[in-house]
Chain A
Amino acid sequence: MKKLLILGAGTGGTIMANKMRKVLERDEWDITIVDQFKTHYYQPGFLFIPFGMYKKNDVIKPKSDFFPVGLNVIYSKIDKIEPENNRVLLEEGVVLNYDYLIIATGTRTAPEETPGLKGDLWYKDIFDFYTIEGALALADYFKTWKGGKLVVNIAELPYKCPVAPLEFVFFADAFFTERGLRDKVEITYVTPLPGAFTKPRATKMLGELLKDKNIHIIPDFNIAEVDNVNKKIIDYAGVEVPFDCLVSVPTNMGDPMIERSGMGDELNFVPTDKYTLQSQKAENIFVIGDAANVPTSKAGSVVHFEADILQENLMCAIEGRPFTAKFDGHANCYIETGYGKGTLIDFNYDTEPLAGSFPFPGIGPFGLLKVSRMNHYGKLIFRWIYWHILLKGKEMPIDSEMQMAGKKL
């Protein structure tokens, strides 16, 4: 029997398990997936929790609900990969050999990377919403918060779902307005980027939205430390921003297992060919999702588009053919802007987010770089699609490759 091993049963690992089980013969191929947790978290839902829009139960399901028949599942912590021996060691000393390996271990938040962030005020006046624990703690805090300086800070690039902290401040604006507290809450968005986003047109559009909603932005801010005593964040240039409540997107890093395996860059992301998704370390190792260092957004939509490419290229490798699929960096993100509305961006390695309609040119129903009620429904529907279609690796009416039709230059 030949062996395909998948590390991580989050978005990418689960999709690949479903796709590969369909195309690899059961009597020739063993497929095994390993994850440390039995619960699958719908991470995009974390954003809604602090504002009481989702509860814990809305974002969790057993991972086993999404696995295909004929998949070996192991719940264990992965200790390390030994690429030269084609094997993986698990924590309890279990050894798994493989012919092909897919790394899908994602990214995690590393608040310990910023001095003072995980200090005395952690989960008292300082929170994150990228973990279920942080999102729930913040929901409790907001229930009784009387207002003050709300500072949202991104520690470092890259971080997953680059629009999530923007959505957070848009939601906060609406949430405190609805509670009649908005005049007591000063919202400041503090980012290492030179503006609201990276690319010119999206930055302009989102920057104007911030302004309309009276949310201050402090760009080019690289956080050096958090002063817990005087309640302020300080950057390397000495700029200080005081807060009453700090919501942080801590440094995002790949799992320490990647570092132990000697397979990561300075943030433990795995050097990966951005077109083929093959690891740069070994020909029989492929990488999908947030774990890879490819220069596009770390987002569920990207994972979904990558999965089509990875399936094709993995079959090429297995059958000894040259790679035929090429990933273009396609990302597609719904952005909540508050008050039941949203916007949408669609882009890839070479094309910045442009205005237009999606997915059907001229028809939509979604509007690119426009604020509309429909785009908000798109985001809500995404949760249903995620659980019922995406994780199971089923077909969606959206091309993996970004389309120019429907976009305005």
Chain B
Amino acid sequence: MATKTIAGISVDVSGEGYMNDPSQWTKEIATEIAKEEGIDLTEKHFELISWIRTKVMSGEALTIRGIGKSGIVDIKEFYQLFPGAPLKKATKISGVPKPASCI
């Protein structure tokens, strides 16, 4: 397990840069990771981040469909907030592990 200093705080991260311990997350960390991904966080981002964190920390699986039904954004808006690979970027910035795709 690697550690990385983000926004002045030392956190545990996976090889791909996802935080291993969601409780180490702060808003400042989110802003910093988002910057690396080329995203400026808005209110809407934080609203969704908080929804994602609640969902993941209660042990539920995260899917694009689920986010579309969150009541905060639809899937199109989700793509606009986190362009490219929205689920990967959103989870990374939310300080939760990379979602496993089981098929």
Q: Is B one of A's binding partners?
A: yes
B85 CB within 8 Å of chain A: yes
A162 and B103 contact, CB distance less than 8 A = yes
Shortest CB distance A130–B (Å) = 14
Q: Is the interface of B mostly helix, strand, loop or mixed?
A: loop
Q: Using known A-B contacts A224-B76, A266-B63, determine if residue A237 contacts B84 with beta carbons closer than 8 Å.
A: yes
Question: Which residues of B have CB within 8 Å of A192?
Answer: 101
Shortest CB distance A251–B (Å) = 8
With the chains together, A156 CA to B69 CA distance in Å?
15
Question: Which residues of B have CB within 8 Å of A159?
Answer: 103
With the chains together, A162 CA to B103 CA distance in Å?
6
Question: Which residues of A have CB within 8 Å of B86?
Answer: 236
A295 and B102 contact, CB distance less than 8 A = yes
A-B contact pairs, 9 of them (CB 8 A): A156-B64, A157-B101, A157-B103, A159-B103, A222-B75, A224-B75, A237-B83, A266-B69, A295-B61
With the chains together, A298 CA to B83 CA distance in Å?
31
Question: Which residues of B have CB within 8 Å of A237?
Answer: 79, 83-84
Question: Which residues of A have CB within 8 Å of B101?
Answer: 157, 192-193, 198
With the chains together, A267 CA to B66 CA distance in Å?
9
Interface membership of chain B positions 47-89, coded 1 if the CB is closer than 8 angstroms to chain A and 0 otherwise: 0000000000000010111100100000110110001111000
Q: Using known A-B contacts A220-B85, A237-B83, determine if residue A266 contacts B103 with beta carbons closer than 8 Å.
A: no
A337 CB within 8 Å of chain B: no
Shortest CB distance A297–B (Å) = 6
Question: Which residues of A have CB within 8 Å of B102?
Answer: 157-158, 198, 295-297
Question: Which residues of B have CB within 8 Å of A224?
Answer: 75-76
Q: Assuming A162-B103, A192-B101, what are 10 further A-B pairs, CB within 8 angstroms?
A: A156-B64, A157-B103, A197-B103, A198-B103, A224-B76, A237-B79, A237-B83, A237-B84, A296-B102, A297-B103
Interface membership of chain A positions 260-275, coded 1 if the CB is closer than 8 angstroms to chain B and 0 otherwise: 0000001100000000
With the chains together, A139 CA to B76 CA distance in Å?
35
With the chains together, A157 CA to B66 CA distance in Å?
12
Question: Which residues of A have CB within 8 Å of B63?
Answer: 157, 266
B102: nearest chain-A partner, CB-CB: A295
Shortest CB distance A158–B (Å) = 5
With the chains together, A83 CA to B82 CA distance in Å?
41
Q: Kindly identify, within residues 234 to 268 of chain A, every residue whose CB is under 8 Å from any CB belonging to chain B.
A: 236-237, 266-267
Our pick among A162, A266, A296 for the contact of B65 (Cβ within 8 Å) is A266
With the chains together, A236 CA to B78 CA distance in Å?
9
Our pick among B66, B69, B103 for the contact of A158 (Cβ within 8 Å) is B103
Shortest CB distance A294–B (Å) = 9
With the chains together, A297 CA to B103 CA distance in Å?
5
With the chains together, A296 CA to B66 CA distance in Å?
19
Q: Using known A-B contacts A266-B65, A266-B69, A267-B65, determine if residue A236 contacts B76 with beta carbons closer than 8 Å.
A: yes
